[in-house]
Amino acid sequence: MSRLRRTGLMAGLAALPLLLDGCQKGDFILPQGSGVTAPASWRADSTSQNVEGLDPQWWAQFGDPVLVTLVTQALAANPDLALASERVLQARAQMRLALSAQLPHIDGQGLGIGNGHLIGQNFNTYIMGGGLTFDVDLFGKLREQTRAARAQTLASEADRETVRLALIGDTVRAYVALQASRSALSILERTLSVRTAEQARVSHQLKAGYEKTSSLDLANAQVSDAEAQIASTRLQIAQQEDALSVLLGDIPGDQIKTMTAGLPLEALRLPPVVAPIPARILSNRPDLVSAADQVIAADHSLRSARAAFLPDITLNPGIGTAGGASPISGTVWALGGSVLAPIFEGGALRAKEKIAVSQRNQAAWTYRKTAIQAFREVQDALSGTTHLAAQEVSLRNSFASRRHTLEDARKELSTGYVNYFDVADAETASLSAELQTVQIRASRLAELATLYQAVGGGWTPPDNQKPATHPPVSKG
């Protein structure tokens, strides 16, 4: 596609604020109140990586080859991404269709007639020729329709990137959740083994008269609780495997189960936190690029609707040849034209203009809504990465303390200073704390994936989608 001169709604890096409320440029204004001003700063920590250096394949920074393979498979076979790609092809065809209206249309015609007469005289007539129809488009109605179609094409391409970015984020988060459940299952199975041994010990001591029946009841309950948690976790794993299969474009089955397990959750690396530049969020998020293109398309449609008030001028030259019994023989040509001007349309043209104005303004408000949501997603993800990191430190300290308490309780049980109830309480608290450390690590990994997605995932718009410094938008 040739490079398109953009009249986008996104400011460039040096052009902030973007879409200023009530800003005016010549004969064009933006819808009142639809402006967007990028925040001056983000609440990010000092260890953040600048978003400028973000690797487009950021998921590889988790350090798991299996995750890289899964993302590759999802990008190759996910139906949502395939649908988005088909919409791009459709938009390109629509653009070509709009462009064809600006070009001359050439038609050929052939006519042959055989005639007979009652007195036996026969004669033939033939005419062959071609004609050209060309809409001069003096006032730009067709030109604006083509520009609108081009903007729609760019929007569809950005929409495809939005789907792609969401698919990558969903795949990473689904994989992290699956690995977290697998780690939890390993912990629970180890816990069940320990509790089963404790159950046997308590049963043996009860028979010897050293334990109470209530201790055995508690030991049995501890085993049953672990078994129930294991069953619940296995169900969760099965559902997560099915969800991951759907993201890969597969019917849920055994593919994920038979795939290499990948790195355990605790071995996955934490990628660096990115420090987004507010202005770059506007140009590096494909959903915002798409929203801006939609405003551009709506604005060109509005211009086309206004051009419909003016006359259409059409040229109709033609050339051909005639022979046989035709009264005209040899080369023939014709040059004609027409001017079609609206006189009375019952208010249809004015209504179409008002519809186009409203659609343009709706697109501008949609852009503002999308931008606000984008800034919120980035800020939430930045806050999440900071607070989850602090929470993980606290939870790991808590687990270490509870683990130490459990070890002391087991030692004291052997010397008779505590009973089995104390050990069971300490073990339950230790298990809960350990499972929380698994969950918090998974939350941190998932939040980083969300942050990378929120800042655009390293996507850079192609040259024909880079924003202009300021958008001219038709006066409403």
Q: What's the chain's average pLDDT?
A: 83
Start-to-end C-alpha separation, the chain: 31
pLDDT digit string, tens, across residues 198-207: 999 999 989 9
- Cα–Cα separations (whole angstroms), residue 50 to 45, 273, 282, 389, 403: 11, 8, 16, 19, 39
Between 382 and 335, where is the model more confident? 382
The single residue listed with the structure tokens 């391409």 is: 157
φ/ψ (deg, to 5) at 338: -150, 150
Please say if the pLDDT value at position 293 is more than 90.
yes
Spatial contact of 116 and 122, defined as CB atoms under 8 Å apart: yes
- Would you state the pLDDT for residue 4? 33
Tokens of residue 250, six digits: 């597969």
Predicted pLDDT of residue 28 = 47
Structural domains of the chain ordered from first start: 24-113+123-465 (1.20.1600.10)
Mean predicted confidence (pLDDT) in 54-70: 94
Are 180 and 439 in contact, with CB atoms under 8 Å apart?
yes
| pLDDT score of 261 | 81
Tens digits of per-residue pLDDT, 381-421?
999 999 999 999 999 999 999 999 999 999 988 777 888 99
User: Which is more confidently placed, 53 or 15?
Assistant: 53
Q: What is the pLDDT of residues 97-121, one digit of tens each?
A: 999 988 888 877 766 665 555 455 5
- Say which amino acid occupies 254: D
Of 67, 62, 59, nearest to 262 by C-alpha is 67
The answer to whether the CB of 250 falls within 8 A of the CB of 241 is: no
Model-level pTM? 0.83
| Structure tokens that stand for 413 in this block | 């049980």
The per-residue pLDDT for 242 is: 93
Confidence at 12, pLDDT banded by 50, 70, 90:
very low
3-state secondary structure the chain: CCCCCCCCCCCCCCCCCECCCCCEECCEECCCCCCECCCCCCCCCCCCEEHHHCCCCHHHHHCCHHHHHHHHHHHHHCHHHHHHHHHHHHHHHHHHHHHHCCCCEEEEEEEEEEEECCCCCEEEEEEEEEEEEEECCCCCHHHHHHHHHHHHHHHHHHHHHHHHHHHHHHHHHHHHHHHHHHHHHHHHHHHHHHHHHHHHHHHHHHHCCCCCHHHHHHHHHHHHHHHHHHHHHHHHHHHHHHHHHHHCCCCCCCHHHHCCCCCCHHHCCCCCCEECCHHHHHHHCHHHHHHHHHHHHHHHHHHHHHHCCCCEEEECCEEEEEEECCCCCEEEEECCEEEECCCCCCCHHHHHHHHHHHHHHHHHHHHHHHHHHHHHHHHHHHHHHHHHHHHHHHHHHHHHHHHHHHHHHHHHHHHCCCCHHHHHHHHHHHHHHHHHHHHHHHHHHHHHHHHHHHCCCCCCCCHHHCCCCCCCCECC
Instruction: Tell me the average pLDDT across 69-98.
Output: 95
Note the pLDDT of residue 470: 41
319 band by pLDDT with thresholds 50, 70 and 90: confident
